[in-house]
Amino acid sequence: MTPSQRRLELYVLLESLNASISRARSADGASRAALRAARDFLSADAACVAVLEPGDREAREIFSLPAGRSMDRAILTGFILERHPEIPPTLLMAPLRRHGRPWGVMALARRTPFAKGDGQALSAIAAALKETIARIERERILEVRSRIDRKIMEELRPKDLFYQILDGLRSLTRYDHSSALLIRYPGERCLRLEAEQIAWQKSRSHRIGQLLDPPEPVLGILEEGEVYGFDREGPRWTQWHGHPALALAELLDSGRPQGEGDAPAASDPPGEGREAAMLCATLSTRGGAFGVLKIAARHPGSFGVYDAETLDGFRSQAAIAIQNSLRTESLQARMLEAERKHAMADLARGISHDVNNALGAALPLVQKMRADVEAGDFDAGVFAEDLGQVLENLQHCRHIFGGMLGFARRAAHGSASGDVARAARASLSLLQSSLDRRRIHTVAEIPGDLPAVVGGQSDLERIFFNLLSNARDATPDGGRLSIRARTGGDGVEILIEDSGRGIPAEDLPRVQEPFFTTKEGGNGLGLSICRSLLWQMNGDLGIESQPGRGTRVRLRIPRARIETGDGPVEEE
């Protein structure tokens, strides 16, 4: 075969290979296809792809043809490290670079020496593989960014968003020690550890909530808004380049106890558990720096320019996502507090009529009893009857104020789980007088053996109070109100129905928006607060309504989990 014919065959092979691996979704799949094509084209007896990861002493074959056939590890390792080992004519190798650094080798072996042009053919196949891997990694970056954007649109809770970001970084940089997000909140000096993934333990950190007090040099570093790289050989960190930032590495070193220099912590895992490479990216918006993203690896030299650029390109989106999520959480917290105050004020307004009626009924009786005593016209039977009525009205007032105090007390003291039946009874008790006054017949079918649900008791009572208040206000001329609950799936399902005025179709999509209201004198917070509380509980809220036919509200609240020595289990 002439050289020109051989080049034409190689061209056809590369076209076919590119078409094949262009559909690959992983570097492993592309590597297998390229290795098989190289072996067949160059008539090799054996082939392998070997890589040298940070911390490895020698190359490791990740694919081999035929399976189980191994090659000289010393030659493979020396070739990857560019030490120019002596290569026999029966062995052909091409370098594989990844992230701008030597990563691996594609090697072929056969009984007879390779021809002069075979090396160029193998290099062309390796170059096609390199381009495919680079394309896969670019697509992965876009996919991770798109996933974060979707989570933002889904109004993901800040904590969940934090771990989505850390998981995204794991798929982009393949750190093998840990990643962490630290935030400095407005008005605070310290950095708070909000999220941390321990890759080598495949778990989340027990240090969540830990505060790190940055020295003045670190505060200046945070304002620089850059990405810093560090490696550790022995006890001390060394910085790659740029503005001096070693104080940041020392602060974020998870294995160094605060105030104990470079000594490893007593709890630090032995051997490779301690971090030896670190990338830190400061997070900032127009308002200034507010946090740090950190990834760490177990071996020095694990990160390179590619990883730093990836983190740099990712942190802007992460900063905006985190800031927006925190603002949303802050707004919800303010709304919850506003609604708590509004609920107490609304409750006070609602029961003032009942208290006034009770006292108004008791006062004339007391005045009459006093006048009878002063006039000497004392009838023991009448006196006892009047005292009984006074006592009944005073007990009614005591019941009303006791309910209010209980509601306020439970709101001030949170709990980890809640009792649906107790929350429904407490809210109905507070509203019963106003429901009776409006001639609203109430039906409650709530089993006493419902499982505990996530969320505090006061939050459950607030949800019921808001929804039952809405049903009452929507049924001013009398009607029916029913509450039903049952165990379903992984939690409790609740159905609240009224026969009131209903909601116009054009208003139904907006009723859960903050400050949207169709109620005269309303503030539009009730349903939005219910949604926020259920959102925190991982619950759901759905509303169906027809004008003139009433409204149906469906709730789903997950079952509470109790902590045991073996981890969380579902509450029975």
DSSP 393-423: HHHHHHHHHHHHHHHHHHHHS--SEE-HHHH
Q: Measured between alpha carbons, how far is 398 from 542 in angstroms, rounded to an integer?
A: 36
d(CA 197, CA 482) in angstroms, rounded, equals 46
Multiple choice CATH, 3-140, 1.10.150.120, 3.40.50.720, 3.30.450.40, 3.30.70.360: 3.30.450.40
Between CA 333 and CA 330 the distance in angstroms is 5
- Residue 330, token pair as written in the block: 């802050």
In the numeric block, the tokens 């996530």 are attached to 454
Q: Where are the domains of the chain?
A: 3-140
Tokens encoding 109:
């072996």
List the structure tokens of 524.
Answer: 């539009």
In 3D space, the residue among 86, 82, 81, 60 whose CA is nearest the CA of residue 71 turns out to be 60
Q: List per-residue pLDDT tens for the chain, 572 residues long.
A: 677 888 888 888 888 888 888 878 788 889 999 999 999 999 999 999 999 988 788 999 998 999 888 899 999 999 999 999 999 999 999 999 888 888 899 999 999 999 988 999 999 999 999 999 888 888 888 887 777 667 655 555 667 777 788 888 887 887 889 899 998 888 888 998 988 888 877 666 778 888 999 988 888 888 887 899 999 888 889 999 877 889 999 999 876 544 433 334 433 444 446 889 999 998 887 777 888 999 999 889 889 888 888 888 878 777 777 777 666 666 556 665 665 566 556 556 656 666 777 777 788 888 888 888 888 887 788 788 888 888 877 876 776 666 556 555 544 444 567 899 988 988 888 788 788 888 999 999 999 889 999 888 888 888 898 889 888 988 888 899 999 999 987 899 999 999 998 888 877 766 665 444 555 544 445 676 777 778 778 888 888 988 888 999 999 999 886 544 444 444 54
Q: What is the largest CA-CA distance in the chain?
A: 138
pLDDT attached to residue 567: 42
Residues 433 and 438: their CA atoms lie apart, in Å, by: 9
Of 67, 63, 54, which Cα lies nearest the Cα of 107?
Answer: 63
Distance CA 133, CA 524 (A): 53
Residue 90 CB: number of other CB atoms within 10 A? 14
Residues 238 and 230: their CA atoms lie apart, in Å, by 6
- Rounded to two decimals, the pTM is 0.56
Alpha helices (runs of H) in 22-117, residue ranges in sequence order = 27-41, 73-80
Q: From start to end of 286-392, where are the E strands?
A: 288-297
Distance set, CA 90 to CA 48, 106, 124, 143, 291 (Å): 14, 14, 19, 43, 56
Provide the CA 203 distance to its chain's centre, in angstroms: 14
Closest Cα partner for 63 from 98, 92, 33?
A: 33
Q: Kindly give the residue spans of alpha helices, DSSP state H, lying in 118-157.
A: 118-153
Instruction: Show Cβ contacts of residue 236 under 8 Å, excluding neighbours closer than 6 positions.
Output: 262
485-512 residues labelled b (16+ CB within 10 A) or e (exposed):
beeeeebbbbebbbbbbbbeeeebeebb
Nearest of 130, 104, 108 to residue 52 by alpha carbon: 104
Burial class of residue 172 (count of CB atoms within 10 Å of its CB; 0-12, 13-18, 19+):
buried
Contact between residue 180 and residue 280 where contact means Cβ atoms under 8 Å apart: no
Torsion, CA 403, CA 424, CA 534, CA 549, rounded to 10: -120
User: Please, are residues 350 and 470 in contact by the beta-carbon 8 Å criterion?
Assistant: no
pLDDT attached to residue 270: 41
* Alpha-carbon span 513 to 337, nearest angstrom: 17
State the pLDDT at residue 520. 55
